[in-house]
């Protein structure tokens, strides 16, 4: 099955506790969700955006509908700690790929 890349862009949601650093937010279930995506071979990279208390994850999915479904099942989204959007993403440059090389 052909897989497309999606960038999940996270930002603080209504359950985000203002004044509390990211590592003190209730993100344990979110970390477990990311680990599951990694174990399934769907997660390429993920990490926090430190200046905005958000994050980015690049995930493989069959289509936008599946990507939206994955994101909607993220415990950090269902709990309201994060709001998030899935954006179709194309890898134009990567480590080991010369600029201008066809992908």
Burial of 89 (0-12, 13-18, 19+ CB in 10 A): middle
For residue 95, the model assigns a pLDDT of 76
For residue 29, the model assigns a pLDDT of 98
For residue 93, the model assigns a pLDDT of 81
- Summarize the confidence of residues 22-41 as an average pLDDT: 96
C-alpha to C-alpha distances, 6 to 44, 56, 57, 88, nearest whole angstrom:
10, 10, 8, 4
Predicted confidence (pLDDT) per residue in 37-92, tens digit: 999 999 999 999 988 899 999 999 999 999 999 999 999 999 999 999 999 999 88
**Can you tell me the distance from the alpha carbon of 23 to that of 63, in angstroms, rounded to the nearest whole number?**
32
The residue that leads in pLDDT, 103 or 22, is 22
Please report the domains of the chain, with CATH numbers, ordered by start residue: 4-89 (3.30.70.1060)
């Amino acid at each position: 099955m052909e897989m497309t890349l999606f960038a999940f862009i996270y930002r603080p949601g209504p359950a985000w506790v203002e004044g509390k650093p990211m590592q003190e937010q209730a993100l344990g279930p979110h970390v477990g969700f990311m680990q599951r995506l990694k174990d399934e071979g769907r997660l390429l990279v993920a990490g926090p955006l430190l200046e905005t208390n958000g994050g980015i994850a690049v995930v493989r999915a069959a289509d936008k509908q599946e990507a939206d479904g994955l994101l909607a099942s993220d415990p950090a989204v269902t709990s309201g700690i994060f709001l998030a959007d899935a954006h179709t993403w194309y890898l134009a440059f990567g480590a080991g790929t010369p600029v201008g090389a066809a992908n």
